[in-house]
Chains A and B, each alone.
Chain A
Amino acid sequence: MKLTLKIWRQSGPNDKGQIVTYPIDNIEGDMSFLDMMDVLNEELIVKGEDPVAFDHDCREGICGMCSLFINGEAHGPDRAITTCQLHMRKFSDGETIYIEPWRAKAFPVIKDLVVDRGALDRVMASGGFVSVNTSGNTVDANAIPISKIDADKAFEAATCIGCGACVASCVNASAMLFVSAKVSQLALLPQGKVEATERVLNMVRTMDEEGFGNCTNTGACAVECPKEISLDNIARMNREYFKAMLTSE
């Protein structure tokens, strides 16, 4: 098929950036969206032009590195997948496709479609862990039974891949779904309970400092989340947060 690509080009953080049009031909339905981007870049390199920079790595939907905003949706038109799992058969011959980076104050553009998501790592470093040293002397793994229901819920929250689609989809560029997924995972497990109060306060504070917006319950994040992280996690984090506000020293 033949397509018209309208791609955001920005040479660096301080460049204003603009949409540039690239026609592309001979695209097959079996190709993944990123295979298509590879084809475009090969053509650009041979022509002596600058290839389009985009982030990607595992290309099987789990590393969370790929991050394209396609036709106004994070990870494109399909549901429950990342950009690398999107296939060209979802588009039709002659279509125009708009490709932009994640847009959020907390995610400055590095080049073209590549943004800096370091803010998410900094939120994690402020509390997204259980403070246990590596020793080989922790209690036996079966010493603390955990109900299957809680373990499964914790697992579902823990499947977040940290791609930032929730932030990119949110009208406020809020990171609530991302932060709440980690807060929920650890709040649901006995191992995480000891530090629950400080954890939620620290992570929310860092989230605000990093310039993420507030949550106004539009739910767009959960719709676009490639791992279908539930809005329940945001509700759980809010409960944890209020509880922490009332009980912290």
Chain B
Amino acid sequence: MSILDSKIPSGELNQKWSSYKDHIRLVNPANKRNIDIIVVGTGLAGGSASAALAELGYNVKAFCFQDSPRRAHSIAAQGGINAAKNYQGDGDSVFRLFYDTVKGGDYRAREANVYRLAEVSASIIDQCVAQGVPFAREYGGLLDNRSFGGSQVSRTFYAKGQTGQQLLLGAYSAMSRQIGKGKIQMYNRHEMLDLVIVDGKARGIIARNLVTGSLERFSAHAVVIASGGYGNVFYLSTNAMGSNVTAAWKVHKKGAFFANPCYTQIHPTCIPVSGDHQSKLTLMSESLRNDGRIWVPKNLEDSKAIREGRMKPTDISEEERDYYLERRYPAFGNLVPRDVASRAAKERCDAGFGVNATGEAVYLDFASAIERYGREKVRMNHDGEASMETIMDLGTEVVKAKYGNLFQMYYKIVDQDPYKTPMMIYPAVHYTMGGVWVDYNLMTTITGCYATGEANFSDHGANRLGASALMQGLADGYFVLPYTIADYLADDIRTGKISTDLPEFVQTEADVKAGIDRLMNIKGTKTVDHFHKRLGKIMWDKVGMARNAEGLNWAITEIQKLREEFYSNVRIPGTVDSFNPELDKANRVCDFLELGELMAKDALNRTESCGGHFREESQTEEGEAKRNDKDFAYVAAWEYTGKPSEAILHKEDLVFDKVKLVERNYK
């Protein structure tokens, strides 16, 4: 029997949240002043939670490792944020947003959580507009929408290609207001290195001051982990350099179950890796697939010639090109979901058709879109017969207006003009659906420890739809946690200040110090990045876009060996008690080295294919993903028992009342 209690309220799906809110306990304003809450991370989930909780009157202590809360990586989200406003009158509703999200997640998310997410989505837009977030508008002054993958309505609100930035700056401004009032104590350049548990409850953290190097104790009545996803376990990803799993992993090691770690999203359109020194991958927005056509040469010889620089893509005639997505998926073509597009690109490159020096790139070609738009322009201008040159010039203008900033970004990085030659793209790690297991209240399996946003596992199942990450982060922080945390804190109104001199704080700090001293005393010969890169390669090759039992078993052994080597040969320069970015990295990489193994173990356990998790053993004859609802319609929640290899699996069965489970088909 499972020991997991998801605490989903009873009642009809569309009544659960409102009736739950009506009945949970509250904390009165005078008592809120006596309650402290720690929030780790200041992205959309943490920033919004900090602001909302401080507005309510709680004393918030917020932490980020960057030099300002405004720099959290939510800032880099491009496309938009979904909300069931139905401003376009195109038939959208809370139920449809809920349904699309559950289906997009390949039926591996909790119905009740996703419904609540869809329900509060409209309030997010109202709140952000009230804060002064400058969403895109139409000439009539009302908000504009666009459509995104996985839905048939236009429900995505956006601010050019910088939606994440504008939403985060909105949350940051709300935080700033509370910082000015003293309701939020902001700790920049601090990294949480462990959770302190007193009498079975999360009561504080140990954080390292990254400027002075000193370990500091912080106490609170509840701890919220909003530290984002773990994509950097792959070394190369679209995450920021500092994005890490440390806060989430430390609570896991203290008793919080870690759910579905194998669910990672590999985004199909990123700028390919150019060389060994590369530190970071850059995303090209999903919106480009509306107009770009993806192809590789039909002939292996042509691909080889391109790789060796003897041929250019424009030398290859229409007949000699393989538009493989249009060929394999005629119904959806270039607009198949992210997981499908990514796997198809890998399949072609593995077969030898890749088109850059590394052999890991495919073309995203705008020539036919430019021509199509150019001809439209000619017709609209009544120009009669126009030369091909004029048509292409006019078409280029149209494409520039739509995607100019992305084309410019591409040009700066690759030094090739995408208006003249096709873009090269390749899939890259982008988002992690798995995370710390939480119940309906967003509480982890540690009493008083919560996880929100990308750090938890709850809403996206095995695959996240575009424009839903921002929605979830803000929903959790602005509209869910402030209610659910009160129900728990209602028991703490008489607790009073929690002393950081308690033996639990002393002991936890000593443990953290011992861990750091151990790392510093290795004094080996290889840098932290050396190990991180090797881990990334194992993960990408064997726990990446396609997985099989043999590869996963190999990965587990290799990661174990790498971890041993790390602990015997890593070299960290500098001292413990100073500004030491290499030590910060080492503290993060040692957690990635454990998480990577759990991801492989989870992937090995899940012998079905679903969403971002593709097991080669579980595919149809045409090579499509094959889900197994009979055996795997559950959340895999792992309990730490000392080593990732000995983690214990707990299953939370997923029950679907409103959604019928069907196969996703894009043919």
Residues of A within 8 A of B (CB): 12, 28-32, 34-36, 38-39, 42, 44-46, 48-51, 53, 55-65, 78, 81, 84-85, 87, 89, 110-111, 114, 116-118, 120-121, 124-136, 138-142, 144-148, 151-152, 154-155, 158-159, 161-162, 185-186, 189, 191-192
Interface residue? B278 (CB, 8 A): yes
Taking CB atoms, residues of chain B closer than 8 Å to A39 are: 277
Instruction: Assess the A62–B162 pair: CB atoms within 8 A.
Output: yes
For this complex, 7 residue pairs linking A to B, each with C-beta atoms less than 8 Å apart, are A28-B275, A32-B280, A45-B573, A85-B409, A136-B479, A145-B142, A154-B132
User: In the complex, which residues of chain B have a beta carbon less than 8 angstroms from the beta carbon of A132?
Assistant: 127, 130-131, 174
Check A155/B279 contact, CB under 8 A, given A128-B173, A130-B132, A130-B173: no
Given A30-B275, A59-B280, A136-B123, answer yes or no on A131-B177 (Cβ-Cβ < 8 Å): yes
Q: Is the CB of B279 within 8 A of A34?
A: yes
Contact B166 A65 (CB under 8 A): no
Q: Check B527–A46 contact: CB distance below 8 A.
A: yes
Contact status A134-B478, CB under 8 Å: yes
Tell me, in angstroms, the Cα distance from A120 to B179 when the chains sit together.
13
Question: A89-B415, A129-B173, A141-B85 are known contacts. Are A110 and B211 too (CB-CB below 8 A)?
Answer: yes
Cβ contacts under 8 Å, A28 to chain B? 275, 277
Complex Cα–Cα for A38 and B527 (A): 11
Partner of B176, one of A63, A65, A128, A148: A128
At the interface with chain A, which of B133-141, B340-348, B465-473, B485-493?
A: B133-141
When the two chains form their complex, are residues B126 and A138 in contact, meaning their CB atoms are under 8 A apart? yes
Contact status B132-A133, CB under 8 Å: no
Contact between B279 and A147, CB atoms less than 8 A apart: no
B24 interfacial contact with A, CB 8 Å: no
Given A35-B277, A155-B160, A58 and B73 contact (CB-CB distance below 8 Å): yes
Q: For the A-B complex with A136-B479, A145-B137 known, give 18 more contacts whose Cβ atoms are closer than 8 Å.
A: A12-B578, A29-B415, A30-B415, A32-B280, A46-B571, A58-B71, A58-B76, A59-B280, A62-B75, A121-B186, A130-B173, A134-B174, A134-B478, A135-B127, A147-B141, A155-B159, A185-B132, A189-B132
Measured in the bound complex, the distance between the Cα atoms of B159 and A117 in whole Å is: 27
Partner of B71, one of A44, A65, A192: A65
**B:38-89 near A, CB below 8 Å:** 48, 51-52, 55, 66-73, 75-76, 85, 87
Closest to B174 in A: A129
Contacts of B179 in A (CB 8 A): 121, 125
Contacts of B162 in A (CB 8 A): 62, 159
CB distance from A215 to the nearest CB of B (A): 23
Residues from chain B with Cβ under 8 Å of A128 in the complex: 173, 176
Total residues of chain B contacting the partner, CB 8 A: 84
Tell me the total A-B contact number using a CB cutoff of 8 A.
226
CB nearest neighbor in B for A60: B282
- CB contacts (< 8 Å) of A145 on chain B: these are 137, 140-142
The reply to whether B67 and A134 contact each other, CB–CB distance below 8 Å, is no
Would you give the 0/1 interface string for B162-184, flagging 1 where the beta carbon is closer than 8 Å to chain A? 10011001001110110110000
CA A117 – CA B66 in complex, angstroms? 11
Chain A residue, CB-CB nearest to B408 = A80
> Does A31 lie within 8 Å of B275, measured CB to CB?
yes
B574 at the interface (CB under 8 A from A): yes
Is B351's CB within 8 Å of the partner chain A? no
Against A, the Cβ 8 Å flags (1 = close, 0 = not) of B109-128 are: 00000000000100101111
Most buried by B among A12, A84, A114, A148: A148
Residues of A within 8 A of B166 (CB): 155, 158
List chain B residues, Cβ under 8 A from A121.
68-70, 176, 179, 186, 188
B274 at the interface (CB under 8 A from A): yes
Contact of B412 among A63, A85, A124, A146 (CB under 8 A): A85
Q: Chain B residues with Cβ under 8 A from A62's Cβ?
A: 75-76, 162, 165
**Docked pose: A165 CA to B498 CA in angstroms:** 42
Whole-angstrom distance between the Cβ of A210 and the nearest chain B Cβ: 14
